[in-house]
Amino acid sequence: RKEVEQDPGPFNVPEGATVAFNCTYSNSASQSFFWYRQDCRKEPKLLMSVYSSGNEDGRFTAQLNRASQYISLLIRDSKLSDSATYLCVVNQFYFGTGTSLTVIP
Amino acid sequence: NAGVTQTPKFRILKIGQSMTLQCTQDMNHNYMYWYRQDPGMGLKLIYYSVGAGITDKGEVPNGYNVSRSTTEDFPLRLELAAPSQTSVYFCASSYGDLRYEQYFGPGTRLTVT
């Protein structure tokens, strides 16, 4: 079983839509969780860390569900500039394959 | 601050050749990492280092070697290049362990033919 699994998408959504991604992890003892953003042919960059209590940064909300072993990312009011691949990361260096998002005008 | 820099940006190697991918960070981070990313895939950890003189294998270390003689530099050596090593290689650094974000370099696109 893979350490981290993500739905690869692609997700194609209109501007202004709300979209959610999930990511499951296999190790119940995992300690840290992150969402990174990767633009085409660029390096990953941290979008946000995911805390047990959940956290929000503007239009982005991240949640952790330890009982079901998944993390989620919610993007509200999608912008064209949100088009990218979103990578979930567990325990710093276990990466999911990424979920591709395209926001359509 | 330049952050994490990598050279070269692109390279084409013939099968059996060797090369070193350079990585330097100016953030005084103790932890450094090498990943490879194949098309449509997530990043796979090749090697990592928690400080000068200390390195350890990641998930996919075969065919690679590393050294860490200084805090700033973490070169990745490919010996006897094979087509399976065609990939994008990212170097990253972080302040500490699991809880800390990683800062990535711009990547090296390597093709082995």
For the residues of B84-105, what is the DSSP string, one character each? GG-EEEEEEEESSSTTSPPEE-
The confidence band for B2, taking pLDDT boundaries of 50, 70 and 90, is confident
pLDDT in tens, B40-59: 888 999 999 999 999 999 99
Spatial CB neighbours of B62, under 8 Å, sequence gap ≥ 6: none
Structure-model confidence comparison of residues B1 and A101, the more confident one: A101
pLDDT at A71 over 80: yes
pLDDT of residue B110: 97
Chain B 44-103, residues with CB within 8 Å of chain A CB atoms: 44-45, 48, 58, 90, 94, 97-102
Contact A43 B90 (CB under 8 A): yes
Contact A92 B43 (CB under 8 A): no
The residue with tokens 């099968």 is: B15
* Residue B95: half-sphere exposure toward Cβ, Cα within 13 Å: 3
The confidence band for B31, taking pLDDT boundaries of 50, 70 and 90, is very high
State how far the Cα of B60 lies from the Cα of A65, in Å rounded to an integer: 29
pLDDT of residue A27: 93
Q: Which of B40, B90, B98 sits opposite A92 (nearest CB)?
A: B98
pLDDT of residue A61: 97
φ/ψ (deg, to 5) at B61: -85, -15
State whether residue A97 sits within 8 Å of chain B by CB: yes
Chain B residue numbers with beta carbons less than 8 Å from the beta carbon of A31 are: 98-99
